[in-house]
Amino acid sequence: YRSFTVEMYYRNGTNFEAHLLTLPSCTESCPLQKFIQITAGVIPENWRDECRAHQGSIQIDLILGLATGSCFLLMFIILCVKLQCRDRDQSMGYQKLASHNEEREKMLLF
C-alpha cells in the first residue's frame, strides 16, 4: 500500500525562490486523501460547465465582431464607389485636340 502526499509551492515571480505553503488543517506534506477532503468544496465537479464561456459573453463578442466587420465592409464599398466615380469623371472630361499648326511644329522638331 503506497501513501501519496501533496505539497504546494508558491513563487512570486520567475526570479524568486518557491515558498512551501501549508494548507490549513494539514501538514506541509499533506496526505492525498486529506487534501481531497479539505479542497472538495473549491474543486469543480463538472469541468465542462466550469470551463464553458457564459452565453451572454459569446453573444456580445459575436455582435461586436459583426458590427466591426460591417463597418469595414461599408468603408470598402464607399472607397470602391468613390474610385469608380473619379475614374469615370476623368474619362468623360474634355481633351484638348492638337491643331494643324501644333502637329506641324512637332514634325519640325523631330
Strand (E) or helix (H) holding 56: helix 55-91
pLDDT digits (tens, 9 = 90+) for 15-42: 889 999 999 999 999 999 999 999 998 8
**Pairing of β 30-31 and β 5-6:** antiparallel
pLDDT digits (tens, 9 = 90+) for 90-102: 655 556 666 666 6
Q: How confident is the model at residue 58 (pLDDT cuts 50, 70, 90)?
A: low
